């Protein structure tokens, strides 16, 4: 994969645990896992380039603040699908949740 947007994160990913507020270096998803997310969350179409780069570098664990426990995007989506139904919210287009806050809110693309 050619990196365009997250070049600095890629270059520094193995040094982040040296900072006192970061517990460990990022851990990324495989290209096979990213392909699974494209199929499951985006109707088989490619995810945005920056999101693919992020997932590859730190999709399973990101020490920089995004909160997806063990990179379980599928489990996170199932959890929030139930909440969306309970609240009567419909999102008609494909989307992928990439961050959440204490099980109450989420960010998606």
- Give per-residue pLDDT as tens, 55-88: 999 888 877 766 566 567 888 888 888 888 999 9
Q: Looking at the predicted structure, is the pLDDT value of residue 106 above 70?
A: no
Q: Is the dihedral of CA 61, 64, 69, 74 positive or negative?
A: negative
The pTM of this model reads 0.73
Which pLDDT band holds residue 104 (cuts at 50, 70, 90)?
low
Structure tokens at 38: 């494209």
Q: Looking at the predicted structure, is the pLDDT value of residue 14 above 70?
A: yes
């Amino acid at each position: 994969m050619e990196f365009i947007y997250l070049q600095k994160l890629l270059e520094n990913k193995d040094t982040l645990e040296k900072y006192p507020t970061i517990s460990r270096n990022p851990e990324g998803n495989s290209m096979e896992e990213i392909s699974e997310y494209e199929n499951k969350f985006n109707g088989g179409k490619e995810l945005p380039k920056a999101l693919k780069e992020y997932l590859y570098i730190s999709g399973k664990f990101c020490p920089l603040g995004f909160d997806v426990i063990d990179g379980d995007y599928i489990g996170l989506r199932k959890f929030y699908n139930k909440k969306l139904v309970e609240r009567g919210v419909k999102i008609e287009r494909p989307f992928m949740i990439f961050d959440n806050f204490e099980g109450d809110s989420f960010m998606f693309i």
